[in-house]
Amino acid sequence: MIVLVMNAGSSSLKYQLYNMKNEAVLAQGRVERIGMDSSIVTHEPTDKPEVRQVSEILDHNTAVRKVIDLLTHAEHGVLKAMTEIKAVGHRVVHGGESFKQSTVVTPEVKLEIRKLFDLAPLHNPPAMMGILAVEANLPGVPQAVVFDTAFHQSMPQESFLYPIPMVLYRRHKIRRYGFHGTSHDYVSHKAAEVIGQPLKSLKLVTCHIGNGASCTAILEGKSFDTSMGLTPLEGLMMGTRSGDMDPAIVPFTMNKEDLTLSEVSSMLNKHSGLQAISGLSSDMREITDAMKEGDKNAKLAFDMYTYRLRKYIGAYAAAMNGIDAIVFTAGVGENSSVVRKAVVDGITFLGAELDDARNDVRSKEARFISTDASRVKVLVVPTNEELLIARDTYNLVKTK
Ligand code: ADP
């Protein structure tokens, strides 16, 4: 079965086309600058040269049509006809409390996703545009939605509630939801496979550290706690996001600096984190390069970033009353051996011991980076959220 995976943002649309017989990627690509003049389409068929086109794509509907045209194009395509696409899976950021797992799109599901626009105003509306665009361009093709929050719906109340008036939870559903669920879910299964033990028997801390970053405590195969909260701002220090801080900083800064709510929100989401402390970049590569040149602010940003990661791993080891493995994934987690070393070398008391040679190997394979004697296993597992979306979509649709 051919499954198309879509990840729609406000001005972008990423896609991957899978043949589920062998889970092979037939093509992938992205449409950027939707709604702006000179949109850019990058199409990468697996066995053919990459295509890059600049054209005017004013909405998601036109973007989806463009993707289908490219997938079925005589020269650049990988399909003979669009009827070969048997299902489409969408990444949806916020599933609120309504969605505890992936589901097939129905009119009721669409209504429910609309109700969640309030909780994810930047993310859920474009996902809905993607769903409607597929409906218009591939009529009758079943669609599924896979939520970033769904994996974390297993958290117990003591993890997901904030100690603020309960009326805020009852009225507005203010609670911890957590994000990157598809990734934490995927890497935890892969890690258990590599360790060679049932996932249910393991206590894991998975660290998804990319531009956005979150840690999850996984107990008996389920999310027990996670560092992102109501929004993806809480938790670890990130590229441009602050992560945890005293909430009183918000009113205090608004008062002292005469900032509006939207200005303070933009400060914490877009002008904080690595970017703010280094004064240089939100990109860990640039931070570590500058550190090597002796840049003190870059070093401080790096130290704060890795210190906060260590604190979360320690906290989650305590939360689960033990830890069997630490898993690193996403851009920084998969690529930055110096970040991994700074983190693991600082938590040896937990029983984690890094093998420096293994840590320095670059590979796309899931692998151990701890020593054979290390009681707590440390792994790097490349994430693959698209594959998990394709699998969920396939499993939901094949029985229909
Ligand atoms: P997103 O959260 O947008 O999906 P990614 O998971 O792709 O992001 O992570 C992007 C980040 O990964 C970059 O900002 C960069 O800091 C980091 N990164 C990528 N490659 C390396 C590398 N070789 N060394 C250190 N950091 C890297």
Q: Do domains 2-147 and 196-385 have the same CATH topology?
A: yes
pTM of the model: 0.94
| pLDDT single digits (tens) 256-275 | 999 999 999 999 999 999 99
The CATH-assigned architecture of domain 196-385 is 2-Layer Sandwich (3.30)
Place of tokens 């009852």: 170
Nearest CA to ligand 1 atom 12: 331
With a CB cutoff of 8 Å and minimum separation 6, the contacts of 354 are: 340, 341, 344, 345, 369, 370, 371, 374, 378
Task: Report CA-CA distances (Å) from 105 to 18, 189, 212, 235.
Answer: 19, 26, 27, 32
- 60 Cβ contact list (under 8 Å, min separation 6): 8, 13, 34, 126, 129, 130, 132, 133
What is the mean predicted confidence (pLDDT) over 273-278? 98
The answer to whether 239 and 273 are in contact (CB under 8 A) is yes
Residue 22 and residue 185: Cα distance in Å, rounded?
21
Contact 379, 366 (CB under 8 A): yes
In angstroms, the CA 58 to CA 262 distance is 27
Specify the pLDDT at position 37: 82
Domain 2-147: CATH architecture, name and number where available = 2-Layer Sandwich (3.30)
Domain ranges for the chain, please list them: 2-147, 196-385
- Tell me what the mean pLDDT of segment 274-288 comes to: 97
Q: Is the pLDDT of residue 361 over 90?
A: no
Strands (E), the chain: 2-8, 12-19, 24-32, 39-45, 51-55, 85-92, 103-104, 143-147, 203-209, 213-219, 222-226, 325-329, 367-368, 377-380
pLDDT tens digits along 35-48: 988 899 999 999 99
Which residues are CB-neighbours of 282 under 8 A, at least 6 positions away? 211, 238, 239, 240, 273, 274, 275
pLDDT in tens, 143-193: 999 999 999 999 999 999 999 999 999 999 999 999 999 999 999 999 999
Residue among 123, 180, 278, 285 whose CB has most ligand 1 atoms within 8 A, to mutate: 285
Ligand 1 contact, 285 CB (< 6 A): yes
Question: Stretch 369-384: mean pLDDT, rounded?
Answer: 97
Distance (angstroms) between ligand 1 centre and the Cα of 300 equals: 19
198 C-alpha vs ligand 1 centroid, how far in Å? 30
Q: In this structure, what are the phi and psi dihedrals at residue 333, rounded to the nearest 5 degrees?
A: -60, -35
Q: How far apart (Å, rounded) are the C-alpha atoms in residues 329 and 88?
A: 26
Residue 195 token pair: 């360790």
Kindly report the protein residue whose alpha carbon is nearest to atom 3 of ligand 1.
Answer: 211
Q: What is the DSSP letter of 76?
A: T
- Exposure string of 338-357, with b = 16+ CB inside 10 Å and e = fewer, is bbbbbbbebbeebbbbbbee
- Which residues have a catalytic role annotated? 148
The reported pLDDT for the residue numbered 118 is 85
* Burial class (CB within 10 angstroms; exposed 0-12, middle 13-18, buried 19+) of 82: middle
Tell which atom from ligand 1 comes closest to the C-alpha of 212.
Answer: 2
239: Cβ below 6 Å to ligand 1? yes
Q: Return mean pLDDT, the chain.
A: 96
Long-range contact list for 11-18, CB < 8 A, 24+ apart? 11/35, 11/36, 13/60, 13/63, 13/64, 13/67, 13/130, 15/67, 16/386, 16/390, 17/71, 17/78, 17/79, 17/85, 18/386, 18/387, 18/390
Q: What's the CA dihedral at 281, 282, 286, 292 to 10 degrees?
A: 90
